[in-house]
Structure 1
Amino acid sequence: MKLNVVFFLVLLAAVIFSCNTKPVQGDWITGTETEQLNTAEKHFRGLDVAMMEIGHRYQELYWAGQDENWEYATYQLDKIKLSLTHAIERRPLRKESGDYFLQNDLPLMYSAVQKGDTAIFNESFRIFTISCNACHTKEKVPFFHVNKPVVRTSVISK
């Protein structure tokens, strides 16, 4: 009897949960499962979209350092790391440059932030910016020249 009740409850739960699944919204993603994945992958794009996020976080990082908001600066570095890690996973041709940045340049910036000294931060940020531009040159996009932010667009401040 107990076994029948347990079986009935498991079966009932399975039916309820399967009825509550909603179909994908919209008609834009069609085709086989593989074709749908290819379409979704296309929408993620390559490094260009990731670099938009990284550029935004680069600016936030700079202003966090100027404000001595070290927790926010660390947060921005974490997000730069995450975004670049995902981007080079999607675009393995950029892996060598991305890995170099993640393993060499980013840790130096983390170290500067952990010291909590604006002068050290500013010097490290200057070197960080040079590293960004060196990577762009290596990847044949030297016209993506990064400069230290001048105008604050962030609404976050300490």
Structure 2
Amino acid sequence: MKMFTLAKPAAGIIGALALVGTISLAGAQQPREGERPQPRLADLMQGAQVGHIKLWYAGKAGNWGLATYETKQLKTRLEDAAQLYQSLPVNDVTTMAKPIQAVSAAIAAKDVREFARAYDELTAGCNSCHQSVKLGFVHLRTPSSNPFSDQNFAPGKK
């Protein structure tokens, strides 16, 4: 079994994510009494990006339970974004349903090869959405180094 090690660039990614998270919390609007704070769209998308990375490593390791969980989390974040930010093009959000379903089907079949194909389709969908809202500079790809060295992606004991 191949073990992943934390590369220096990955350590920088973790530091940057922590900094962005801190800045995002500092700039959040204060909710009125009795209201829940609304997450910023950037925070939802950064959470989706983290889930996108973790989904890849879970599927690659054949940890179908974790892959299922990360897929559900990703779907929920996209649904939250569509509901909370109605200015998002509905077509962009709804077109993500097909790639997410393809990932879910590959996970249910426990098919690593099909998972990789569906994951590429999902990533292309993310990038297409970013292009349509003039954020094409936010370009996702299949991760090449694991920034989550503190998590074991191998399936756990039953």
Q: 1:99 aligns with which of 90, 94, 98?
A: 94
Of 89-98 and 67-76, the range deviating more from structure 2: 89-98
Q: 1:157 aligns with which of 115, 128, 153?
A: 153
In structure 2, the residue matched to 1:126 is 120
Unaligned 5+ runs, structure 1: 1-27
* Residue-pair matches, total: 123
Give the deviation of 1:40 after TM superposition.
3.4
Q: Quick one: distance in 2 between partners of 1:29 and 1:111?
A: 40
Q: Quick one: distance in 1 between partners of 2:98 and 2:110?
A: 20
Q: SS where residue 40 of structure 1 aligns? A: coil
Q: Quick one: distance in 2 between partners of 1:100 and 1:126?
A: 15
Q: Which runs of 4+ in 1 moved over 2 A?
A: none
Give the deviation of 1:99 after TM superposition.
2.2
Aligned residues with identical type, % of pairs: 22
Q: 1:40 aligns with which of 9, 24, 37?
A: 37
Question: What letter is aligned with 2:37?
Answer: A
Give the deviation of 1:68 after TM superposition.
0.3
Unaligned 5+ runs, structure 2: 1-28
Q: SS where residue 53 of structure 2 aligns? A: helix
Q: Identify the structure with the greater helix proportion.
A: 1
Using CA pairs below 8 Å that are at least 6 residues apart, which structure has the higher relative contact order? 2
Larger Rg: 1
In structure 1, the residue matched to 2:139 is 145
CA contact under 8 A between 1:109 and 1:124: conserved in structure 2? yes
Q: Quick one: distance in 2 between partners of 1:29 and 1:140?
A: 29
Q: Quick one: distance in 1 between partners of 2:131 and 2:30?
A: 37
CA contact under 8 A between 2:99 and 2:118: conserved in structure 1? no
Q: 1:71 aligns with which of 55, 65, 88?
A: 65
TM-score (norm 1): 0.70
In structure 1, the residue matched to 2:77 is 83
Give the deviation of 1:29 after TM superposition.
5.1
TM-score (norm 2): 0.70
Q: CA RMSD in A?
A: 2.2
Give the deviation of 1:151 after TM superposition.
0.7
